[in-house]
Structure 1
Amino acid sequence: MRISTSQYFGMNVQTMDDQQSTLASLYQQLSSGVSLATPSDNPVGAAQAVQLSMQGATLSQYADNQNTALAALQSEDGSLSSINNVLTSISTQLVRAGDGSLNDGDRGAIATQLQGLRNQLMGLANGTDGSGNYLYAGYQAATPPFSINASGAVQYNGDSGVQNVQVTGTRNIAIGDTGQAVFLSISPAGSAAVTAGNSANTGTGTIGNVSVTNPTDPTNQHQYTINFTSATTYTITDATTSTTSAPQTFTAGQAISLGGGGQNVTISGAPNAGDAFSVTPAAQSNKDVFANLDSVIAALQTPVSGTGGQANLTNALGTALTQLHNTMNNVTSIQTSVGGREQEVEALQTVTQTNSLQTTSNLADLTQTDLTSAISKYTMTQFSLQAAQQGFSMIQKLSLFDYIGN
């Protein structure tokens, strides 16, 4: 088909206009560094860029949450280490108090030291994090979790709420533990049954720790009382089933079997008729570390007198040491859990950082100018435009009038 001169000129002008428009677009990309300024530049790429931007914002929020969680867990971890140090010092003093060569004044001095350690423990229980929030108050983070009531006993004012932080799309992690869990509870694993002597005992009998021979025996979870009907006979009462055994002959230091035989205990010395001893499962024992400390401090402040005075003190110290062991075991278990959560958050931080870098890279590939490619295209387009202009200029001269003029 024939193309008129006007059509031919129009086609060439349009081609040069397109090339100039392309040059302008490439120049804009080179000057701004952005290859995707408007959705019309690349509709599919624009949709992908929106998704990547949203993903990047989400990952950034998770990174902030992870930093918050790790800081809180590190604060608790440090606090628990200090608590363990105080508990270890208390244990040392309790062992020292059992030295039979000490007098009432010496034991009174130890009681004073224990009172100071109790106050240190109280201070740690009311410890705060870097933001001033109380570590062990649950949801009541602005209120001190522990206080001393009118009777001088320590009471818990926090709640049982555990704060959680979402650290990934599918993972919420606890960033603290309550004062109830740390100071008023024990861990089922590793805790021991608590033995005690009645403070009204008049004999010299002292009870040892429980020895477990069958950990799976369900009667291990029963509470028992050993009552001496005479200096040489005793009965065992199972408080859980309300049953009492027939009188049995007592031999100092000989194992006394409890319940179904899953555990036994020994009593040394010479109990008197009417003396009593108890064995309480760890789960049913007094778990309040402050109350337990108050009890042993009171025992150390009581002058040792009479036939059973030293035996009662020995029993009180033995009970306190077992209770303290259970508390230390509980604190260690919680600290282990905190350490595990710290490691998890640190691992998630690595994953989140990697994902964030990849998302940023993908977004940059979509929206930022590839300078090498853009410069190459700009140069080629520029050469093409110059060639088109030169060609159009030469073709314009192929006119009859130009020949006539020559």
Structure 2
Amino acid sequence: MRISTSQYFGMNVQTMDDQQATLAQLYQQLSSGVSLATPSDNPVGAAQAVQLSMQGTTLSQYASNQNTALASLQAEDSSLSSISGVLTAINTQLVRAGDGSLNNGDRGSIATELQGLRNQLMGLANGTDASGNYLYAGYQASTPPFSVDAAGAVQYSGDNGVQFVQVTSSRSIATGETGNAVFRSISAAGSSPVGAGSASNTGSGVLGNVSVTNTASPTNQHKFQIDFTSSTTYTITDVTAGTPAGPAQTFAAGQAISLGGESVTISGAPNGGDSFTVTPAAQSSTDVFANLDSVIAALQTPATSASGQANLTNALGTALTQMQNTLNNVTTIQTSVGGREQEIEALQAVTQSNSLQTQSNLADLTQTNLTKVISQYTMTQYSLQAAQQGFSMIQKLSLFDYIGG
């Protein structure tokens, strides 16, 4: 195969043009710091870069969502701690009110203190997060969830919607609880049956704490009523089943009265017509504000007789159990909130690690490796200079230089 002078010149010029183009491309990478400026630079790498960029954007959004969810949960956690503190203070006052040495004026003062604690609880129930959203309003986050009606009763105007935030591709986390869940419900675990005496009792009978004698008994979820037909005889009715729970029995003060899988004692001297109830926690009144209003009213009622003192003692015992159930519910919710906080913090660490790895992979594809590119630039520059020098020497040669020597 013969190569003409024009072909030879053309090949050398093309080679030097290619080397100059390579030098220009490498110089552009060095000056800009970007090795993948257009898809044509590396089509496969460009596709990977688009995918990594989308992944980075998604991870960034998840990180933002995690920060938002964590802030909401931390605000709720702080609020629940304050609520627990108020409920504990209420319980302390209820125990104090049971001191038999107090007079009606003393109990009236305690009622006033309880009213103040109720107002504190109301303020916490209408608490907001850093964004001004009401913590316990459900989806109605821009409206106060609790208000007082004309009769002085607390009403809930929020809903039962629970806000969720997507924190990973496969995990959404609840960022709050409703007012019903916190202030008008109780936890199934750890709550106690609620004993109560009728406010119309005329005797001095006082209902004691309910003891569970058989945790497996299905009747533990039944409501029972103890009715005194005389001062010495009583009957028990399974209100839930709607049937008598055995024949009439003889009363002895302080003796255990069996109620299926539970038992209770009554001290003092009940009169005929007096009645007492034992209600499963979930079936009793679980509205903390209504329960507080009830015991405040009982404390404001002068106890001027043995029956009045007994009714007050029964009301205090009922309120103490109700408040303890509410406190148990708040503690259970706070434990759940703390668990979600820990989960988000763990997810934040994972998301940050994935984001850093994605950024590193994207940088490897799109950013200039200075050491590598400088080396390539230097080698290409040397090659171009050698080609230019060689071509310059060869093009000066002529056949006449070898004739007539």
TM (norm. structure 1) is 0.98
Secondary structure at 1:49 match in 2: helix
In structure 2, distance between residues paired with 1:307 and 1:371: 94
**Secondary structure of residue in 2 paired with 1:264:** strand
**1:247 corresponding residue in structure 2:** 248
SS of the aligned residue for 2:237 comes to strand
Name 1:53's counterpart in structure 2: 53
1:368 matched residue in structure 2: 367
The residue identity in structure 1 corresponding to 2:33 is: G
CA distance in 2, matches of 1:404, 1:139: 102
- Aligned counterparts of 1:102 and 1:401: Cα–Cα separation in 2: 135
Question: Do residues 134 (structure 1) and 137 (structure 2) align?
Answer: no
Q: CA deviation digits over 1:197-248, x for unaligned, max 9?
A: 0111111110011100111110111111100111111000111111123110
In the TM superposition, what is the alpha-carbon distance from 1:16 to its structure 2 partner? 0.4
| TM-score (normalised: structure 2) | 0.98
Stretch deviating more after TM superposition (330-339 or 206-215): 206-215
- Residue 335 of structure 1: aligned partner: 334
Q: Secondary structure at the match of 2:312?
A: helix
Displacement of 1:403 after TM fit? Answer: 5.5
1:182-221 correspondence runs (5 A):
182-221=182-221
Cα deviation code 1:105-125 (max 9, x no counterpart): 000000000000000000000
| One-letter identity of the residue aligned with 1:360 | Q
In 2: Cα distance, 1:343 partner to 1:373 partner: 44
Distance in 1 of aligned mates of 2:209 and 2:230: 23
- The match for 1:277 is 276
How far apart in 2 are the matches of 1:99 and 1:12? 110
Q: How many matched pairs? A: 404
Paired position in structure 2 for 1:5:
5
Counterpart for residue 88 of structure 2:
88
Kindly state the Cα deviation for residue 390 of structure 1 after the two structures are TM-superposed.
0.5
Structure 1 counterpart SS, 2:306: coil
SS of alignment partner, residue 347 of structure 1: helix
Aligned equivalent of 1:258: 259
Give distance in 1, aligned partners of 2:404 and 2:291: 122
Partner of 2:74: 74
What is the alpha-carbon distance in structure 2 between the residues aligned to residue 300 and residue 265 of structure 1?
Answer: 24
Tell me the CA shift for residue 309 of structure 1: 1.0
- Matches of 1:402 and 1:371 in 2, distance apart? 48
- Give the residue type in structure 2 aligned to 1:384: S
Structure 1 CA distance for aligned equivalents of residues 338 and 241 of structure 2: 41
Any residues of structure 2 matched to 1:7-406 within 5 Å, and which? 7-244=7-244, 245-259=246-260, 262-401=261-400
Mapped to 2, the partners of 1:360 and 1:402 lie a distance apart of: 63
Which deviates more, 396-405 or 224-233?
396-405
The offset of 1:402, in angstroms, is 5.0
Shift of 1:306: 2.3
The farther-off stretch of 206-215 and 331-340 is: 206-215
Deviation at 1:404, TM superposition (A): 7.1
The residue type equivalent to 1:283 in the other structure is A
Match of 2:265, SS?
strand
Per mean C-alpha deviation after superposition, the further-off stretch among 204-213 and 101-110 is 204-213
Q: In the aligned structure 2, how far is the partner of 1:385 from the partner of 1:347? A: 56
Question: Aligned partner of 1:44: which letter?
Answer: V
Question: Matched residues in 2 for 1:404 and 1:77: separation?
Answer: 102
1:364-393 deviation per Cα after TM superposition (whole angstroms, max 9, x unaligned): 000000000000000000000000000001
* Percentage of matched positions with identical amino acids: 80
Deviation at 1:31, TM superposition (A): 0.2
SS in 2 for 1:138: coil
Q: What SS is found at the alignment partner of 1:308?
A: helix
Structure 2: how far apart are the matches of 1:405 and 1:71? 97
What letter is aligned with 1:168?
T
Q: Which moved further from structure 2: 42-51 or 389-398?
A: 389-398
Deviations 1:155-206 (A, max 9, x none): 0000000000000000000000000000000000000000000111111110
Deviation of the 1:128 alpha carbon: 0.4
**Distance between the aligned counterparts of 1:104 and 1:25, measured in 2?**
95
- The letter for the 1-side match of 2:332 is S
Alignment partner of 1:166: what SS?
strand
Partner amino acid, structure 2, of 1:336: T
1:401 is displaced (CA, Å) by 4.6
SS in 2 for 1:305: coil
Residue 333 of structure 1 and its aligned partner are, at CA, apart by 0.4
Query: What is the letter of the counterpart of residue 305 of structure 2?
Result: G
Alpha-carbon shift at residue 405 of structure 1 (Å): 11
Distance (whole Å) between structure 2 residues aligned to residue 115 and residue 381 of structure 1: 87
2:327 counterpart letter in structure 1: M
| Partner AA of 1:367 in structure 2 | T
Where does the alignment leave 5 or more consecutive residues of structure 1 unmatched?
none
Deviates more, 1:172-181 or 1:198-207: 198-207
Deviation at 1:400? Answer: 2.4
Measured against aligned partners, the alpha-carbon deviations of 1:312-344 in whole angstroms (never above 9, x if no partner) come to 110000000000000000000000000000000
Q: CA deviation at 1:356?
A: 0.1
